[in-house]
Structure 1
Amino acid sequence: MRSIGKISGMLLSVVIMLSTVVQAKNDIEGVRVWPSPDSTRVVFDLSAKPDYSYFMLKNPLRLVVDFDNTSKVDKLPKIPVEHRLISKLRYSKPKSSNGTRVVFDLSSSVKPVVMALAPAGPYKNRLVVDLYATQTSLYSNDKSQAKKRERLTDRDIIIAIDAGHGGEDPGSIGPSGTYEKNVTLPIAKRLARLIDKQPGMKARLIRTGDYYLKIHTRSTKAREKRADFFVSIHADAFSSPGPSGSSVWVLSLRRANSEIGKWLEDKEKHSQLLGGAAELIKDTANEKYLAKALLDMSMDHSMKTALQVADEVVGELRKVTKLHKKRPQSANFGVLKSPDIPSILVETGFISNPKEERLLKSGNHQEKLARAIFKSIKNYYKRNPPDDSLFARLKEPGQHVVKSGESLSVLANRYGVSISALKKANQLTKDTLYIGQVLTIPKA
């Protein structure tokens, strides 16, 4: 009898355990809304991996997200005015008694992207809802969008500044809990202020607040802003606290060739990248080959410019902080992929190093880093201004005193001018120079 009682007790325990499992629920622990100029992201923080489904409704426009076996959070956040895509978040009757239904009341047509994310860094399980306004493609051939840049004089040189990471993506995290995204944005804003104070230059921030941007959209935004140059600000990290110092990165040749191939396959991008040249080669049998030649030249110019600026940045950073790499490095960073805009990525230091984490949080150090980057970009464009820019008009012919070992070819290469231009500017009939001779250096 005792054996039977013991077995019955064990069965009862199993039944209770099974009942507990059946009744166990996932919990929505919080809901966060991230501001963004072009989209809205809503994040549901959950205690376990979400089991969910969603669908769209019209008249009025709504997105409905169903969580199975999930309890709701007490209060949903109010939607700030900058979220023009969503007018309200609210609950509705769930499809099952143990579920939760959240309704997004929409103010305009959207494309939803819904995805579950596993725990990472400071975050637990999440369900992320990205809403993108439906609009004409960025690469549309629509004439209203394919406006050509008017030929201006004395225009500003546009510098696009990308603060790495943001929103749901914190980037690397320092030993004391500092998020990379909270370091890159202040440095980017300081750099923007310095650029905007410089006559003939204008800054355009790719990310102006704490929100997420996809990697491939960052160079697209720079192109929309008609940027002459693109600089992305980051902070490095390693699995141990030892490594330290800043570094500067440019696009690798391997990645460059890959990106040219992608642009060639997408004919809609030809007109956007090649401008008026695309109209000349349109509908011809050789369009792809001519487009490749133009893309190759564009990429070659971008990579040369980026490398020259990167050299300058390394030299200026050396004056204000320790260097991790003494020369510019090349890599396959997605943010550097644009074939038509010279681009660099600056790792301002190792946030995983306790000392550098403290420095990167310091306003004084952030200002030094911003000034080093600003000075490098300004110096490059003062020597190599776009023809239609204010910098070009203000640039006066320079002078050079010939030193031992210098020749016309050496000086022509140094100043980016032709030998014939040097001879013409100085009324030279021979290639011979003498030490101490003063030469006028024409505009490049």
Structure 2
Amino acid sequence: MHLFATQVNDIRVWRSPDKTRLVFDVSDEVAHSQFFLENPQRLVLDIRGTRKPATVGTPSLSTTPISKIRYGVRNNKDLRIVLDLKNKVTSKSFLLKPNATYGYRLVVDLFDGQKKAVTPIKQPSQPSSRRDIVVAIDAGHGGEDPGALAYGGGHEKSVTLNIAKDLAALLKKEPGFKPVLVRTGDYYIPLRERTSVARKSGADLFISIHADAFTDRRANGASVFALSRGGATSETARWLAQRENSSDQIGGEGGISLSDKDDVLAGVLLDLSMTSTLSSSLEVGDKVLKNIGTINRLHKKQVEQAAFVVLKSPDIPSILVETGFISNPKEGRKLKTRNHQRALARQIHKGVKSYFVKKPPPGTLLAKLKADGKVNTRPDQYVIQAGDTLSEIASRFGISLSSLKTANKISRSDRIRTGQVLVIPN
């Protein structure tokens, strides 16, 4: 009989556009090694003094380069895992320490091989005065990093992705805007890599979307953050920044390189860039916050500042939107509903649009439309669909039924019809 000090408790797989992440939940800290075998392609992983109980299942592998996972015992004490591969990959493995959600985890990243390097996203060929305003939308957390646990079940990562996709859909319909989703599915992207995606896409604005949590369930309200140069503006902001930044233990490198600049020049360049960028961040953040405040209680009535890693882009105005406290019973339930998610996306969209209408970047289509007096400043409208009711429409847009009726001069006896256009008041 052999005694194993550690065991594998669960196995999870996360697929992203360029890699597959395989995660083994282990009961204690472990040592491991890995190597490749060819003809056929295999990756062999040896975990010291570990076993895999029969009750641990195998996750779905259909979208991964793995065709099969096999297990064996090596030296009567080590767990040998063999990944049969469909094609050639490169690999990186590392151990993660316990966090608020998981215990020790052995992570194996399989990077897709035989692919061309990812190139920056370029604007379509068009006159210089017609380029779109690029808005990078970052859904917080994802994959192995679920974010905050929602009251009554569910995770922050799902809420943020829904809101991000809703916001992207709204911006896509807006002339002169081009949304770029940093994360399109349930997978993790390192914090500094998120800003790198924004930079490669030529973003004019970076928005990171989150849903907050706090130990006191009474905490509630939405917030908008910009980067603080001298530290957080409040104890709550400081605590939140530390919590979000700690998730980057999952890995990640990136950021602007100033290696070819001397210390003085690099400092001056960053200081000049940050001063301009921070001013823009605070201004667009204020627009977004005020619009969110029309449908949601605000945690603070001004844009807060904290040292979030995802906001540290010297060249891109960046804001982090905490859409509410997912740990609060009332807000947690609302944040998990599609109606409220769509309403939040709509208010963020309004704030972003109003900022750029006021200050369109030179050389953009919006700047030309504004100069020609063709910017659409009409109230938002909605075309009634079959089965719609006024109360459902009001709920969908996060407004009161009475304000919807007043804006459209609808009395109690009036009936609505399919195809009728409603004005949606602010």
TM-score (norm 1): 0.70
Aligned pairs for 1:251-266 within 5 A:
251-254=227-230, 263=256, 265-266=258-259
Match of 1:383 in 2: 358
The AA in structure 2 aligned to 1:323 is L
- Where does residue 130 of structure 1 map in the other structure? 109
The AA in structure 2 aligned to 1:369 is: L
Counterpart Cα distance in 2 of 1:67 and 1:198 = 52
Aligned residues: 346
CA distance in 1, matches of 2:286, 2:176: 22
Offset of residue 24 of structure 1: 5.0
| Cα drift, residue 288 of structure 1 | 6.1
- Per-residue CA deviations over 1:250-305 (Å, capped at 9, x if unaligned) read 0112479xxxxx846433xxxxxxxxxxxxxxxxxx87655554443332221111
Q: Choose the corresponding residue for 1:225, options 188, 193, 201.
A: 201
Whether the 8 Å CA contact 2:258–2:266 is kept in 1: the answer is no
Q: Describe the shift of the 1:374–1:338 C-alpha distance in structure 2 as closer, same or farther (beyond 3 A).
A: same
- Residue aligning to 2:92: 112
Aligned-partner residue type, residue 51 of structure 2: S
1:172-212 residue CA offsets vs partner (Å, 9 max, x unmatched): 11231221111111111111111111111111111111111
Structure 1: where are the runs of 5+ without partners? 1-18, 257-261, 268-285, 399-444
* Per-residue deviation, 1:36: 0.7
**Counterpart Cα distance in 1 of 2:185 and 2:94:** 22
Distance in 1 between the 2:110 and 2:129 partners? 40
**1:207-234 C-alpha deviation (Å, 9 max, x unpaired):** 1111111111110111122111000000
What CA distance in whole angstroms lies between the structure 1 residues aligned with 2:340 and 2:123?
A: 40
Whole-Å separation in 2 of the counterparts to 1:287 and 1:254: 23
Q: Structure 1 residues 138 and 228 mapped into 2: Cα distance closer, same or farther (>3 Å)?
A: farther
Q: 1:333 to 1:185 in 2, by over 3 A?
A: same
**Does 1:39 find its partner at 2:28?**
no
Aligned to 2:413: none
Aligned to 1:356: 331
2:312 aligned residue: 337
Amino acid at match of 2:106: L
Identical-pair percentage = 43
Q: Report the Cα distance in structure 2 between the residues aligned to 1:230 and 1:255, rounded to whole angstroms.
A: 20
Determine if contact 1:163/1:207 at 8 Å carries over to the other structure.
yes
Please list the CA deviations of residues 80-104 of structure 1 after superposition, one character each: whole Å capped at 9, or x if unmatched: 33x3xx3334325532224321123
CA distance in 1 between counterparts of 2:281 and 2:107 reads 36
Structure 2: stretches of 5+ with no match in the other structure: 233-254, 374-426
Cα distance in 2 for partners of 1:45, 1:179 equals 19
Q: 1:26 to 1:382 in 2, by over 3 A?
A: same
Cα distance in 2, alignment partners of residues 373 and 35 from structure 1: 29
**1:66–1:102: 8 Å Cα contact kept in structure 2?**
yes
Cα distance, 1:134 vs structure 2: 7.7
Take 1:124 and 1:291, find their aligned partners in 2: how far apart are those partners? 40
Give the superposition deviation at 1:55.
2.2
Query: What's 1:303 paired with?
Result: 278
Please give the per-residue CA displacement for 1:308-335, whole angstroms capped at 9, x wherever unaligned: 1011111111111000010001100001
**Equivalent position SS for 2:129:** coil
Residue matched to 1:91: 70
Instruction: Point out the more displaced range, 227-236 or 111-120.
Output: 111-120
Higher mean C-alpha displacement, 342-351 vs 144-153: 144-153
Change beyond 3 A, Cα 1:355–1:77: closer
In structure 2, what is the equivalent of residue 405 of structure 1? Answer: none
Decide which of 288, 291, 309 is 1:313's aligned counterpart: 288
Q: Which letter maps to 1:130?
A: D
CA deviation profile, 1:88-135 (whole Å, cap 9, x unmatched): 3432553222432112345334240321432633x4543222234589
Contact 2:120 2:200 in 1 (8 A): no
* Cα distance in 1, alignment partners of residues 327 and 193 from structure 2: 27
Residues 186-197 of structure 1 correspond to what in structure 2 (within 5 A)?
A: 186-197=162-173
Q: 2:171 is matched by which residue type in structure 1?
A: I
RMSD (Å), alpha carbons: 3.1
Per the alignment, residue 63 of structure 1 pairs with 43
For the Cα contact (< 8 Å) 1:255–1:337, is it kept in 2? no
Give the residue type in structure 2 aligned to 1:171: G
The one-letter code matched in structure 1 to 2:62 is P
Code of the aligned partner of 1:168: E
**Which residue in 1 is equivalent to 2:3?**
23
Q: Choose which of 201, 216, 237 in structure 1 pairs with 2:192.
A: 216
The answer on whether the counterparts of 2:138 and 2:207 sit within 8 Å (CA) in structure 1 is yes
Which one-letter code corresponds to 1:382 in the other structure?
Answer: V
Q: Give the secondary structure class of the aligned counterpart of 1:153.
A: helix
The CA deviation at 1:166 is 0.8
Given that 1:50 and 1:67 are in contact with CA atoms closer than 8 Å, whether structure 2 keeps it comes out as no
* Distance in 1 (alpha carbons) for counterparts of 2:133 and 2:258: 31
For 1:119 and 1:372, how far apart are their aligned partners in 2?
A: 33
Change (3 A) 1:357 1:195: same
Contact 2:120 2:201 in 1 (8 A): no
